[in-house]
Structure 1
Amino acid sequence: MPTCNHCGSYVSNAFVRVFADESGQIRACPECSANAGIAEVTLSRADS
């Protein structure tokens, strides 16, 4: 079962296909980020 690497919440396989980085990490999800900003938060957390 895939989970967000930031908060540990469950994410769907479809979410992983869209938002995972090249190594398969999920750095933001609807539980720990605003839905409208998930892509931006993912990029900012990847840079940290």
Structure 2
Amino acid sequence: MIPLSFETPDGRCLHCGTHVTSRFCRVFGDEQRRVHRCTQCDTHVRISKGSAAGLDVDVPDPEVSEGRHGGEPA
């Protein structure tokens, strides 16, 4: 059995605090199964490239970038 002590505290995203499943933590989280971004605060494209594991990815962040995936136009 997987030790739960290595998962994100209380099964929450470290960025926005949204609940994430243990499976999401295992699949998309970092080596300690911590989730840095989730589907509530990031796009599926960025998550699939590693943003949930805390990696910098080449896709613009929807919270700070203008465009169809986030941000408000000036």
Q: TM-score range by the shorter chain?
A: 0.7 to 0.9
Root-mean-square deviation (CA), in Å?
1.8
What pairs with 1:3-42 in structure 2 (closer than 5 Å)? Answer: 3-40=12-49, 42=51
Q: Which one has a bigger Cα radius of gyration?
A: 2
For 1:17 and 1:41, locate their aligned partners in 2 and report how far apart those are by CA, in whole Å. Answer: 13
Return the TM-score normalized by structure 1: 0.73
Which 4+ runs in 1 deviate beyond 4 A? none
Unaligned segments of structure 1, at least 5 residues: none
Greater relative contact order, per chain length (Cα 8 Å cut-off, separation 6+): 1
Q: Is the 8 Å Cα contact of residues 2 and 13 (structure 1) preserved in structure 2?
A: yes
Amino acid at match of 2:39: P
Aligned residues: 45
Percent identical: 33
Unaligned segments of structure 2, at least 5 residues: 1-9, 58-74
Task: Write 1 or 2 for the structure with the bigger share of helix.
Answer: 1
